[in-house]
Amino acid sequence: MHQGVKDFIRWLEDHRDHEGVNLNSPATSAELAVMEQQVGAPLPADLRFVLTRFNGGTIPAGTMLPAGIGPGTIDDAMRSFAGQVDADFLDPELPMPFHRTLEGSLLCFDRSAGPVADTWPIVDFYEDTGDMRLVYRTLDGWCRTCVLDWRAPDADEPFSLHKYLSQGLRHVEVEPDVSTAHATVAHALRRAGEPEQALESYLRAARCVPPLHWCDWEALKLAALLDRQREGLEAATRLAARAPAERWADRETTPAQVAYALARLARAATDRDPWIRLLDQLVEQAVGDEERSQAHAVRRALVHGGPLPAPCPPREVPAVAPQGDLALWWKEARRAYSEGALRDDDLLLDARLEPLAEAQDLTDLLRIRREF
């Protein structure tokens, strides 16, 4: 058994009187045997040990599911999961839920990751959307992160941006190779008005295996706005890699948008050849006449030195309506960015903001702290 799991059990057993702790009696050997027979595979050793100390219950991070048969058990959650994703309950690669988070999602062992139970990583499954992503490399990593959070000085404080950032940093400390951990830190730093640090964390998230593919787009947007060529080229290289439509959906952008952001950085590059090669890849992947035409126009502008064409704005109605009074327009832009109505996509892709950008440095908006 791993040390993090031992600390997890010890903390819960030492805090049985804690308001957020209500542990069930230990699972019997018969209950565990039935559970393993139902799933057709041994339980991960660490989970099995936890269940022998308490068979599910309420903990500060949510609700651990008990072994056994019936409502609220691991078996019940697996059957519900199978119905949700239209899979066979007996599929040996069907994820195994074991914990429901405070946000309502399910933490599951990813049984498709290998034949040995003790190598299964942990994914987060959102039943309302069907989204699933790797969030912990091991159960021990989850246990270690939980204990660090529970022991933290801000453990009993209300949720805040500072607490969110601290939780992300603790997860990075425990599992530095997990994309979700770095993405949490990046998102928190971005809201904290630290765009340069957020950019570095987005890139770290995109370097992990498996990555969160949308982190490269977030990194490229920040790099383009901050004029950071090295970081932008790294993110653009991964984004321009040829990929099916599903991967582009995961990237949460389009070839034409990436082409524009890339070209905006490349204009100041002394060697444009690497950038143009990436543009060629993006032009080939553009879908539809309009997007293909725009990607071609961006490439022509970069090769021949002309002005970049106006990109397709991220929305039909601007987040902040243009005004003749630039001071008032800037005030409204600051308010809209603080409230989340004006986004980084707008700052990068909405040409209707150009008159304001000539009078104000739009990157100042990136330094506004936005609490939850």
How far is the first Cα of the chain from the last one, in angstroms, to the nearest whole number?
38
In 3D, which of 195, 226, 303 has the Cα closest to residue 259?
Answer: 303
Q: Give pLDDT, residue 74.
A: 93
pLDDT tens sequence across 222-242: 999 999 999 999 999 999 999
Given a cut of 90, is residue 186 above it in pLDDT?
yes
pLDDT tens sequence across 54-92: 999 999 999 999 998 889 999 999 998 898 888 888 888
Query: Angle at Cα 221 formed by Cα 314 and Cα 278, nearest 5°?
Result: 100
Rounded mean pLDDT of 272-297? 94
Query: 365 CB contacts (<8 Å, ≥6 apart)?
Result: 333, 334, 337, 342, 347
Q: Give pLDDT, residue 170.
A: 98
pLDDT tens sequence across 305-320: 889 998 888 899 999 9
Given a cut of 90, is residue 2 above it in pLDDT?
yes
Q: Give pLDDT, residue 96.
A: 94
- Pairing state between β 57-59 and 22-23: antiparallel
Count CB neighbours of 245 within 10 A.
9
Given a cut of 80, is residue 5 above it in pLDDT?
yes
Sign of the Cα torsion 282, 286, 291, 294 reads: positive
Q: Give pLDDT, residue 310.
A: 87
Q: Using an 8 Å Cβ cutoff, are 67 and 77 in contact?
A: no
Query: 281 CB contacts (<8 Å, ≥6 apart)?
Result: 240, 241, 242
Q: Give pLDDT, residue 130.
A: 82
Dihedral class, residue 18 (left if φ above 0, else alpha if ψ from -120 to 50, else beta): beta
Summary mean pLDDT of the chain = 95
Q: Give pLDDT, residue 273.
A: 94
Given a cut of 80, is residue 1 above it in pLDDT?
no
- Give the span between the Cα atoms of 215 and 60, in whole angstroms: 29
pLDDT tens sequence across 99-132: 999 999 999 999 999 889 999 999 999 988 888 9
Count CB neighbours of 74 within 10 A.
27
How far are the Cα atoms of 122, 168, 171, 249 from residue 125, in angstroms, in the given order?
10, 19, 19, 18
Q: Which two tokens stand for residue 286?
A: 């553009």
Q: Give pLDDT, residue 317.
A: 93
- Give the span between the Cα atoms of 268 and 262, in whole angstroms: 11
Rounded mean pLDDT of 5-29? 96
How far are the Cα atoms of 34, 88, 121, 210 from residue 141, in angstroms, in the given order?
27, 29, 10, 16
| Minimum mean pLDDT range among 88-97, 115-124, 147-156, 255-264 | 88-97
Query: 167 CB contacts (<8 Å, ≥6 apart)?
Result: 145, 149, 184
What 3-state class would DSSP assign to 187? Answer: helix
Residue extents of the structural domains in the chain = 3-151, 155-212, 224-312, 326-367
Q: Give pLDDT, residue 196.
A: 98
Given a cut of 90, is residue 275 above it in pLDDT?
yes
- Strand-pairing partners, residue 99, are 64, 107
Rounded mean pLDDT of 291-302? 92
Q: Using an 8 Å Cβ cutoff, are 165 and 192 in contact?
A: yes
* Check whether domain 3-151 has CATH 3.40.190.10, yes or no: no
Q: Give pLDDT, residue 16.
A: 95
- Cβ-based burial of 87 (10 A; exposed 0-12, middle 13-18, buried ≥19): middle
User: pLDDT confidence of 256, banded at 50, 70, 90?
Assistant: very high
Q: Using an 8 Å Cβ cutoff, are 347 and 225 in contact?
A: yes
Q: Long-range contact list for 244-247, CB < 8 A, 24+ apart?
A: 245/287, 247/213
In 3D, which of 79, 64, 63, 69 has the Cα closest to residue 35?
Answer: 69
Q: Give pLDDT, residue 100.
A: 97
Query: Can you state the percent helix, strand and coil of the chain, rounding each to 5?
Result: 55, 5, 35
- Strand-pairing partners, residue 59, are 62
pLDDT tens sequence across 198-210: 999 999 999 999 9
Q: Give pLDDT, residue 67.
A: 93
pLDDT tens sequence across 318-372: 999 999 999 999 999 999 999 999 999 999 999 999 999 999 999 999 999 999 9
Q: Looking at domain 155-212, which of 1.25.40, 2.60.40, 1.10.287, 1.10.3470 is its CATH number?
A: 1.25.40
- Tokens 């971005």 map to which residue? 190
